[in-house]
Structure 1
Amino acid sequence: MTKFAFVTGANKGIGNEIVRQLAEKSYHVFLGARNEELGQKAVQSLGFSNVSFVQVDISDTQSIQNSKNKILEVTDHLDLLINNAGIALDFGILPSELTLETLRQEFDVNFFGTFQMIQTFLPLVKKSQGGKIVNVTTDMASQTMFDNGQAGQLNILGYNSSKTAVNSLTLTFGKEFGTNGPEILGVTPGFTTTDLNGNAPGGKTTAEGAQIIVKYALSQTNYNGKILDKNGIIPW
């Protein structure tokens, strides 16, 4: 039986690698991207017959609904929803100098967008045996790790706090789902060199970052409501 996965923000970076790694494991993967041209190009360059493009802008309610309708033309269930799409607009900006507009924009995509994705696709994930929702987060969103120096030390209020809010979504939906499923978890790949951070040197490759996410997405261990890094569960 074909397993289906939907990965957002997947035309480049970690998202694109997640699609590749799931496609290699025989998933039918819906590659989600805002930009149709870039999304179609990404599908072509991956070169898998089991990858198809779905246009989705997670900051747009109608776009999310349209993406659901498109997926429903192919399948009535999703085994994996990977909420990878996210933006970071305040690298290098001090919290005291961050504009309200930028902060709102980051929450609009990272928090409200992820929230709408979970609500919209929940019925499809519930239809799968062992359906799973994975929210991609950052170790800097762990207040404990950020404070004690175990996480990256970029004091970026917008990106970090919007991802902390995503961790809160993971916990609260996890409490709702309980042991009945589906399973929801957050995964941080750790510092990975991508467009998101201006290709900052010294990080993992996108393939290495994606591998950590895919490992938990396919794990038989139940991590419902937990946040994980490459070593396992991390503190809030």
Structure 2
Amino acid sequence: MSSADDATERPTTTALITGAGRGIGAEVARQLGRLGTRVVLTARDPADAAAAAGPIDGAEAMPVGVDIADQASVETAAQLFAARWGHLDILINNAAAPPDRDETPSQANLAAASDALRVTLFGTWRMTQAFLPLLRRSSHPRIVNVSSGAGSHTDGQYGFPAFGGAAASHAISKAALNAFTAVLAAELSDTPVIVNAVCPGVTATVPGAEAFGARPVEESAPGIIWAATLPDHGPRGGFFRDTRPLGW
């Protein structure tokens, strides 16, 4: 085969990113694409995924919307993925429920709190179960759960003590996501599947957020890229921000 033919081959590493229609999910896709990874973007609205994938080399959009809170939607996506791409090397569970920053535990609407857990925790859990068989077909499978220091007891910047109990459902759901990461990593400790959680820090995912101290998505994405491309001897079951361990 000629070098020209080699240059036109599809990348051998395939990544799937949830919640990739905009924000940090789309930026992670861009940065992975620059590394030569085939990136498959998903969003609840497939048009959003297609628009985000268009400018990225090596990127494609899942042809259907993926609602991680809906079992049938996730199962359909997994079947389509298996038929089209065959295996999965990197699963980045980025989609999550948006935080209600004014909510406190004593005043929380428990229906809304249940919805936050249904998306952030159980949606990630559902995606992982559905795509794990495809990850097992990879030689170097990686799972990255995009979490938050809001789910940490010890993070002085964003953790439980920092905000007087505000954004309660967000914090609790992210703490649960961290626990899921730890127990999943323990289950898979004797397999090639490396699982970690990453806090991207406060990130400007909506216009004007920089004015409140959020950093650009370009600065937050590399920590996720790092976890998605760890070597086979890399850490497992950890919680990181900007490649550094973060306290639970």
TM-score strictly above 0.5: yes
Distance 1:197 1:183, change over 3 A: farther
159, 163, 166: which is aligned to 2:170?
Answer: 159
Q: 2:46 aligns with which of 36, 60, 70?
A: 36
Name the structure 2 match of 1:132: 142
Aligned to 1:224, which of 236, 239, 248?
Answer: 236
Using the TM superposition, give the Cα deviation of residue 196 of structure 1 relative to its aligned residue in structure 2, in angstroms. 10
Query: Which residue is 1:13 aligned to?
Result: 23
Deviation at 1:179, TM superposition (A): 3.3
Paired residues in the alignment total 231
Matched, 1:187 2:198: yes
- Aligned-residue identity in percent: 32
- The Cα shift of 1:23 comes to 1.0
Contact 1:90 1:98 in 2 (8 A): no
* AA partner of residue 60 (structure 2): S
Matched, 1:215 2:223: no
Contact 1:13 1:206 in 2 (8 A): yes
For 1:143-164, what per-residue CA distance to the aligned partner results, in whole angstroms no more than 9, with x for missing partners? 222xxx2435342110111011
Deviations 1:3-25 (A, max 9, x none): 10000000000000011111111
- CA-to-partner distance for each residue in 1:206-230, whole Å, 9 max, x for gaps? 1111111102211225121111111
- Aligned match for 1:70, one of 77, 80, 83: 80
Give the unaligned 5+ runs of structure 2.
1-10
For residues 215 and 36 of structure 1, the distance between their equivalents in structure 2, rounded to whole angstroms, comes to 27
Provide the rounded CA distance (Å) in 2 between the counterparts of 1:106 and 1:195.
19
1:120 CA displacement: 0.8
Give the TM-score of the pair, scaled to structure 2: 0.87
Whether the 8 Å CA contact 1:89–1:102 is kept in 2: the answer is: no
Aligned partner of 2:12 in structure 1 is 2
The one-letter code sitting in structure 2 at the alignment partner of 1:75 is W
* Distance across 1 between alignment mates of 2:103 and 2:27: 29
Change (3 A) 1:47 1:214: closer
Q: Is the 8 A contact 2:152 2:175 kept in 1?
A: yes
SS of 2:154's equivalent in the other structure is helix
Q: CA RMSD in A?
A: 1.9
Q: 1:51 aligns with which of 56, 59, 73?
A: 59
Distance 1:224 1:196, change over 3 A: farther
Do the aligned partners of 1:90 and 1:102 also contact (CA within 8 Å) in 2?
no
Q: Which runs of 4+ in 1 moved over 4 A?
A: 196-200
State the partner residue of 2:101: 91
